[in-house]
Amino acid sequence: MPGADPREALADVLGALGATLRHHRDLGVAALPLSGDYLLGPEEALAAQERALQGCRKCKLCDGRTTIVFGSGNPRAEFVVIGEGPGADEDAQGLPFVGRAGQLLTRMLEARKVELRRDEVYISNTVKCRPPANRNPEPDELAACAPVLAAQLAALQPKVILALGSVATQALLHTREPIGKLRGRVHPYGSAVLIPTFHPAFLLRNPGEEYKRMAWEDLQLARREYDKRRTR
């Protein structure tokens, strides 16, 4: 910024670099090369990652996709939402959670005692290409996209991750426990915490009050953790 104190600007850069290195350390990374996206700001890093992903053919999902759905939202968000994979609407538009499940997700985030706007958070999926007929991503597909998701989270450095459904939760926590046992609790995830809840598509298929109540409780838990941990 013109006229800014260069000492303050340098302090900001070093502070951001320190936070990035601590985030990688907390995820178990022992060494980093002296180049790469982690030296960029979150906006630049995410944009570079999305450019690098274009034309990806690392798994069979590339054969049926229309668009790679990288993610969207605030690149400086400290609250991140992770689903399992794009559906038909997302594949057509190139944006995550824009169909019926996405509309419900928006309402969930805006619900009383949660009160988060979509432009405040960042939303992505465990895989970036639509699985055929909206089936669950298979293990090799999740493995192919895992480094992409890890790089996104390293750039974002969230304080709270809301994991939607069993596929996303199990992939992030490296567990096979069902979502019914994982939800309702705070799970450590590097320097962040992860809160599992039901996927909006599941709630659309199961509109009973019990599941709705549990999902609302999960989101309130995520909001409380966010309020405790957020720095901006």
Q: Where are the domains of the chain?
A: 36-229
- Would you state the structure tokens that stand for residue 10, as one six-digit string? 């340098």
pLDDT for position 2? 46
- pTM, rounded to two decimals: 0.84
Amino acid letter for position 31: A
Cβ atoms of 90 and 48 within 8 Å: the answer is no
- Short-list 128, 135, 132, 139, CA closest to 171: 139
Within the chain, strands assigned E span 72-73, 79-83, 122-125, 160-164, 187-189, 192-197
Please give the Cα distance from 151 to 157 (Å, whole number): 10
- Determine contact, residues 92/105, Cβ cutoff 8 Å: no
DSSP β-bridge partners for residue 197: 164
- CATH superfamily, domain at 36-229: Uracil-DNA glycosylase-like domain (3.40.470.10)
pLDDT (tens digit, 0 to 9) for every residue of the chain, 232 residues total?
445 566 765 665 566 566 666 655 655 555 555 455 556 899 999 999 999 999 999 999 999 999 999 999 999 999 999 999 999 999 999 999 999 999 999 999 999 999 999 999 999 999 999 999 999 999 999 999 999 999 999 999 999 999 999 999 999 999 999 999 999 999 999 999 999 999 999 999 999 999 999 999 999 999 999 999 999 8
Rounded Cα gap, residues 172 and 174, in angstroms:
6
**In the block, residue with structure tokens 């990688």:** 24
